[in-house]
Structure 1
Amino acid sequence: MLNTYRFDFLILCIGRYGVPKLPTFPHGRGPDAFRGRVLHSMEYSSMAHEDAAELVRGKRVAVVGAGMSAMDNRRSVRRGQRRYPCTMVYRSGHWMVDPKVAWRVNFFTFTSTRWTELMVDKPGEGFVLSLLATMLSPLRWVTSKVTEAYYKRSIPMREHGMVPDCGFGQASLGWRLGIGFYDRVDEGSIELRRCGSVSFCTDGLVLDAGGEGEDERVVGADVVILCAGFDIDRPLRDVFASPWFSEIVASGDDGGSAVLPLYRHCVHPRIPQMTVVGYAESGSSIYPYEMMAKWMAHLLDGAVRLPRVRDMERGVAEWARWGRWARRSSGRFFLKSCVASVTTWYHAGIQ
C-alpha cells in the first residue's frame, strides 16, 4: 500500500556512500569460485564489533583496495586477529598524508587557501581571474612537484610500491595515512600485493600482474573484504519514482557529467522546492555540508531568494564547464562533484 504525504519543501540528505559498488570478474573466477567468505567493506563496517572480530579471528584476511575504507578495515582486521598478516591487494596507491610528516612544513598555506585557489581555474571566475590562473599555472606546477617530492622522500611509499599512478597535482583528494602503517608493513603484520587485476580461486585470490609473460600469483585467504567504492549516483537516482526526476537530477551517471546539475550543488533549477545536501565532495566535506545546510536554512527563512531559472541554469553550466576542465586535468582520478580544489571559492559563493 502506498502512502501519500503532502509537504511544501523536500530536503534530501541521503549521501553518496550508501550503495556498494562491486567489481566484475571473469566468468568462473568470481566469488562463487571461492570457498571462503566475501563481503563488501560496507557490510563489514556495519557489523557489531564482536561479530566483526569473530569473523576474522584466526583466519587469513585479504583486503582488496588501498583507499580510505581499505585502511579503516585493515585496522579493524588487525584488532580482531593477529595470527596471520592482513594482506592488502591493490591496483594503484593513493596520496595518503602522514600527519607527522605533513606538520613538519605547513603545507596548508600552499594547498588550501585563497592564494592557492588563485592558481586554479574556477567556475564563473571571469576574464581577469582566469588570466591570473593561467599566468600562475607554472607556480602551481612547481608547488605540486615540491610537495610530491617531499612526501615521496619522507614517506617510504616508493620502497613498498605504494607510489600513486597520478601526480600530487592531479589527485582530486588525499587521505590521512593510518598511524604506524609502514611500521606494520616492515614488521610483517601487513603484506602489500600490487597487481593489474584480481579474480578468485578456491583457496583465495588470483593476482594478475598485468604484463605479458607475468605469472599469476595466488594469495591464500579465508575472508575477502572488497573495498571497491560506492555507486554514488544510485541513492539519488533510486529515491525518485518518476523517471523524469531521476534523469534530470542524477544525470550523467554514465560518466559523461563531472558534476550534478544543481545550483550551488543544492537546488535543481527546475525543482526549486527541493534541496540536496551532502552530495558534493571535498577534502573535508563537513565544511561545505555545513555551508549548504546554513544556506538552505536561510532559503527556507526567506533571507535568501533563488535567482531566475535562467540564471540558475547559467550557474549550473559554469560548474559543468569547470567540471569538464577538472576531469581533463585529473583524468580518471577525478571524483564526480568534487570541489576540493575550489572549496574556498564555493564557500564564498554560497554565503
Structure 2
Amino acid sequence: MGHAAADELIRGKRVAVVGSGKSAFDTVAECAAANGGRYPCAMICRSGRWMVNGGFVWGVSLGHLFCNRLAELTVHKPREGLALALLAILLTPLRWLLSKLAETYFKMQIPMEKHGMVPEESFAGSMSGCRLGVLPDKFYDRVEEGSILIKRARSFSFCTDGLVLDDDDTGERVDADVVVLATGFRGDQKLTDMFVSATFKQQIVAAPLYRQCVHPRIPQMAVIGYTENLTSIYTFEMMAKWVAHLLAGAFRLPSVVRMEASAAEWDEHLVMRRHGEGGGGKPCLGGVSTWYNDEMCRDMGYEPRRKKGILAEWLQPYGPADYAGIL
C-alpha cells in the first residue's frame, strides 16, 4: 500500500495498533501525526521493549559504545582463540558498566516507566537480544498531548466497534475503526512451511544455517533475513551480497561436514530472540555482527578491515557505508 493510500485509510479514523516493536511505534506515530488529539491512536502492548531516542548516551553514540571492534572484544565470538576468549572474560565488567550507564541514562531521559513501557530485561539484554529500537521523533510528546494512548494487555479479542482487552467481555474496550496488527511473524514456521518433504521440514528447524544463509543438507536454497541484528536491513544486505557472490561462482562452499561444524559453532554464540512466552527463537547476531561480516568478506574475497587507519579501525562503529564497495 502506498503512503497516500495508507494516509487516506487512517485519516479521520479511530486507529488501534497492536504490537510493541519498531513497526508498531512507527505506525502509531504516523497515525498520531495524521489525526492528532481528535482521534487518538491506541497502542496495545503485551510486553515492553527498549526504545531509545537518537542513540546517544551523554553525547556519545551507541555505535561508539557497542558497535566497533573495541567493544566487540568484550563478547565471546566463534573461533576467537584462547587469547581473545580470556580477554572477553576480563572485559566483561567493562561491558556491564557501559550497559548500566546507558540504561540509567535512557531511564532518566525517556519516560518509559511512566507509561508502562520498561521491559523486565535490562538494556544489556536488549542489546544482545536484538530487542533495541529507535523511537520516532517526539513520540512521548504525543503521548503527553493525548494523541497517543498506550495500553498494556496480555491478550485481546475483536468486538463490533473495536477491541476488548484481556480477552474478557468485562474487560476494557478500545473503540477503533481500523486495527493494525504490528505483531511480527514466526520466521521459523515460514521456513518449515516452504517444504512438502517431512525430511526437509525436520532438517530446517533442527540444524543451524551456514553463514546464516544456506543449509548444509538442503541444496539450492538460500535464506536471507532469518537471522536478525540490531540493524537488520544492513545485515540482510550483506547476506544478499554473499549469496550473489556464491551464485556468481566467486567462491565455493566447503564440505557438508565443515559447514555443519561452522554453523554449530556460530549457533552457540548467537542470541535466540524469543517469540513470546514459551515460544521458539530466531537467531540474532547481537554483539558479533562485525565478526560475522569479517567472515562474509573473506568468503567473497574482500579485505575485512574496512577503515582507514588503526584508530578508526578499532574505535569507529561499522555500518553499511563501510561495505558499499562490495557490489
TM bin, normalised by shorter chain, reads 0.7 to 0.9
Out of 64, 76, 83, the position equivalent to 1:121 is: 76
Q: 2-side partners of 1:263 and 1:341: how far apart?
A: 18
Indicate yes or no: 2:284 matched with 1:338.
Answer: yes
Q: 1:162 Cα shift? A: 1.7
State the TM-score, normalizing by the size of structure 2. Answer: 0.78
User: Could you tell me which residue of structure 2 aligns to residue 75 of structure 1?
Assistant: 29
SS at match of 1:166: coil
Cα distance change of structure 1 residues 303 and 61 upon mapping to structure 2, 3 Å threshold: closer
RMSD across aligned C-alpha pairs, in angstroms? 3.0
Are residues 1:240 and 2:226 paired?
A: no
The letter of the residue matching 2:6 is: A
Deviations 1:252-278 (A, max 9, x none): 5xxxxxxx6211112222235433233
- Counterparts of 1:197-212 in structure 2 under 5 Å? 197-208=155-166
Count of paired positions: 291
Compared with structure 1, are the counterparts of its residues 290 and 193 closer, same or farther at alpha carbon in structure 2 (3 Å cutoff)?
A: closer
Residue 131 (structure 1) shift = 2.4
1:274 counterpart residue number: 221
Does the CA contact (< 8 Å) of 1:69 and 1:227 recur in 2? yes
**1:109 positional shift:** 1.6
SS in 2 for 1:142: helix
Aligned: 1:157 with 2:112: yes
Q: Is the 8 A contact 1:53 1:79 kept in 2?
A: no
Structure 2 Cα separation of the partners of residues 198 and 320 of structure 1 = 35
5+ residue gaps in structure 2? 298-327
- Which one scores higher on RCO, CA 8 angstroms, separation ≥ 6? 1
Q: Contact 2:18–2:183 at 8 Å: present in 1 too?
A: yes
- Which of these residues, 141, 144, 147, is aligned with residue 183 of structure 1? 141
1:65 Cα deviation from its structure 2 partner: 1.5
Cα distance in structure 1, aligned partners of 2:273 and 2:100: 19
**CA–CA distance in structure 1, aligned partners of residues 45 and 233 of structure 2:** 28
Whole-angstrom CA distance in 2 between matches of 1:295 and 1:200 = 44
Q: Percent of aligned positions with the same letter in both sequences? A: 51
Which TM-score applies when normalising by structure 1? Answer: 0.73
Corresponding position of 1:314: 261
The 3 A distance-change label for structure 1 pair 137 and 201 is same
The answer as to whether partners of 1:206 and 1:218 remain within 8 angstroms in 2 is yes
Q: Pick from 208, 232, 256: which aligns with 1:261?
A: 208
Structure 2 letter corresponding to 1:344: T
Give per-residue Cα distances to partners, 1:47-106, cap 9 Å, x unaligned: 344543444343322111221121222133235434311111112221112117558222
Per the TM alignment, residue 347 of structure 1 is displaced from its structure 2 partner at its CA by: 0.7
Residue pairs, 1:56-135, within 5 angstroms: 56-82=10-36, 83-99=38-54, 101=56, 104-135=59-90
| C-alpha distance in structure 2 between counterparts of 1:303 and 1:49, whole Å | 40
- The one-letter amino acid of 1:287's match is Y
